[in-house]
Amino acid sequence: MKDKAIRKKVKEKGGKTAQPSPRSQVALGNEESPLEAAPAPKRTKGAGMREKWRKIRAALLPNPADAATPPRRSANPLFDLPEEQRAKLFTWLRECPFDDAVRQMLRDQGIADATPLQLNDFFQHEAEQHWEKRIGRAAQEANALVQLVEKSPVRFSAGILAALGQEAFRQIASGQVEPDAMGKLATLFLKARSDERADQMQELKREKLRRELQDQIDHALEKLAEEVDRHPVAREAFEALRKELATSMEAAL
Amino acid sequence: MNPTPAETEAPYTDPEALLQARVLKILKPCLSYWLDEQTLYLTLNLGRPAVTRARLEAALRELRDKAYVDFRVDPLSRLTEWRLTPSGHALAQPL
């Protein structure tokens, strides 16, 4: 109410006789009253936060996520463990649903004692790390496989390459296939393609053989016809045989 | 004095926004490859507390409505698969 009265008074007298607020006296050394200064929009904490993140997205400010992650060891001693013991603990947590059992195993190994909350925190952090590593590797390996196939002399459509990359990604991400196996998959993929081409070649060869056989049969029949001409009685039977042979050859082709 | 919601706005104070951010974070390393929903669900549940399927579906729906993720049904496996759109990648970048 008092503020309102002051503001009203300032408005009426053009702000010249306004009483400075106690806060302005402390903060600004009794300088010009904020009410006398040029009006500026009030900046809320939320607006400031939004502005900060807008600048971070525009790369005008460094992203706090890019900065070195503060060590979690102060909060959770499990993150202080050596790499080998961390891997062992992660395996235990993944395979054993009972925190008490895991804590007992930790004590047995003389590693450290931890609260269930610390175990959960450790597991979640490690699981996320493992996930990001595996997926990142899967995407890289799939890209590498697609590039390898692209470099091969055989041309593939973009759709086939995308399907190949997707399948490679799915296989590696599922954890069922080691990345090295992808090289073998690429080799098999290319071999399957070359086998397909070999099959086509074989088919062409078979077709050629059939034509040669047909020509030989025709030739033999011509010769036989010449012989039959010398025996007119057998000519009718020969023509029937020739017709039957031609029909069966057409059916075979 | 109780602060207004606008004044207390900070990244991921809302659990659903946090879940959406986690989904984006999981999909980010997949680059342009599709990740099936079941794997996404299992990944979210690596940590505890568990995320229910209904919450995941709601989060995915909202992200799809905002065009941050795209989906398809794989013709062979019939699984629903998800990946980030370019705007989703741009959003997930500074997280």
pLDDT at residue number A15 = 43
A245: containing domain: 207-252
How far does A18 lie from chain B, in Å, by closest CA? Answer: 26
Examine residue A85 and state whether it is found in any structural domain, yes or no: no
Examine residue B6 and state whether it is found in any structural domain, yes or no: no
* Closest partner CB to B31 (pick from A47, A65, A139): A139
Q: Find chain A residues with C-beta within 8 A of B35's C-beta.
A: 135, 173
Listing DSSP states for B42-68 in one string gives: HHHTTSSSPPPHHHHHHHHHHHHHTTS
The domain total for chain A is 2
- This model's pTM is above 0.90: no
* Closest partner CB to B47 (pick from A124, A165, A166): A124
Q: Find chain A residues with C-beta within 8 A of B41's C-beta.
A: none
pLDDT at residue number A249 = 73
Examine residue A11 and state whether it is found in any structural domain, yes or no: yes
Q: Which two tokens stand for residue A12?
A: 């009426």
Rounded Cα–Cα distance for residues A186 and A164 (Å): 9
* Closest partner CB to A124 (pick from B4, B6, B46): B46
The domain total for chain B is 1
Position A44: which residue type?
T
In chain A, residues 191-230 whose CB comes closer than 8 Å to chain B: none
Examine residue B82 and state whether it is found in any structural domain, yes or no: yes
Q: What is the DSSP letter of A21?
A: P
Could you identify the residue written with the tokens 């029949």? A221
How far does A155 lie from chain B, in Å, by closest CA? Answer: 22
B contact test, residue of A132, A167, A170, A176 with most B CBs within 10 A: A170
Examine residue B8 and state whether it is found in any structural domain, yes or no: no
State percent of chain B over pLDDT 90: 52
Between the CA atoms of B28, B34, B38 and B43, what dihedral angle is there, to the nearest 10 degrees?
Answer: -20
CATH code for the domain of B44: 1.10.10.10
Could you identify the residue written with the tokens 């991921």? B12
ipTM of this predicted complex? 0.77
pLDDT at residue number A207 = 87
Average pLDDT (A218-231) is: 78
